[in-house]
Homo-oligomer: A and B are copies of this chain.
Amino acid sequence: MPPFPIITLLTDFGTCDAYVGTMKGVIAGIAPGCLMVDLTHEVPRQATAVAAMLLGDALPFFPPGTIHLVVVDPGVGSARRAIAVETGAAVAVGPDNGCLTPAIDGAIRVVEIRDARLFRSPVSATFQGRDLFAPVAAHIARGTPVAALGPEIADPLRAALAAPHAEEGALIGEVAHVDRFGNLITTVRVVDLAGWPGVEVEVAGVKARGLAGSYHDGAGEAGASGGAAGVPRVRALIGSAGRLEIALPDGSAAELLGAGRGARIVVRKHEHD
């Protein structure tokens, strides 16, 4: 095993209970010397598509060989499959419900995890993060090849976070996530806007023109739609993960606009003023 294999953990378990700590105990017992890194445990309950987005945004920033353990598992105890996904650079382990989508998109191999010798026994019907996913991730960290975990599958599920679609020349997306600062992180990515001369972004009745370079750059500020007195300082920009964001410097755009996860975003072409 490499000197310091990394296992990341991404769950909807929260941190009020000892669930995450217990998974780490299981991992440390199998693969001592691992570095365990929490991505977040505050994924909205059972929101597999949000988990997939957070995983995708974090993936490029971890070194080769990192193992990503994702347990957002509304179907725990049902017949849903457990899978491991191997890309050229990483392995992702979790339930087959779409939460591993970004890894699947770059996969060279997806297997159904079936080798029960790697599990804790018995496997709880309510906490497979502890009894199945954590030990499998630890065994991979110790060198078990993904191909040895079970048969390859061709039909892993992908998550339902809708890609933006075109409508009358505009791009329609939605708010995927609200971060701690109240920034609205959207499903629209910078690549979706390639070649656009400029943009006008509308959310919750407010329009922002242009893209600010940062939270403190005056461009991309909003005027109120319909010419009203204005909702100053809300601005659109491309955030650190390449997603269109709506932000309010020194405040919460989510609160000001009353907009949250699922809110509709309309992006229209707009020539630079």
Chain A residues in contact with chain B, CB under 8 A?
A: 3-4, 6, 8, 10, 12-22, 24-26, 28-29, 32-33, 35-42, 45-46, 54-55, 57-58, 61-63, 66, 74-78, 124-127, 130-131, 177, 179-181, 213-217, 237, 239-240, 245, 250
A34 to B170, CA, bound (A): 47
Q: Nearest-CB distance from A202 to chain B (Å)?
A: 21
* A35 contact set on B, CB distance < 8 A: 28, 32
Q: Nearest-CB distance from A75 to chain B (Å)?
A: 7
Chain B residue at smallest Cβ distance from A252: B45
Number of copies: 3
Interface pair B14/A125, CB less than 8 Å apart: no
* A177 contact set on B, CB distance < 8 A: 17
* 8 pairs, CB–CB < 8 Å, chain A vs chain B: A15-B40, A18-B57, A18-B58, A21-B58, A26-B61, A45-B181, A124-B239, A126-B239
A141 to B13, CA, bound (A): 29
Q: Nearest-CB distance from A223 to chain B (Å)?
A: 22
The winner among A61, A75, A250 for most chain B CB atoms within 10 A is A61
Q: Nearest-CB distance from A235 to chain B (Å)?
A: 11
A61 to B125, CA, bound (A): 17
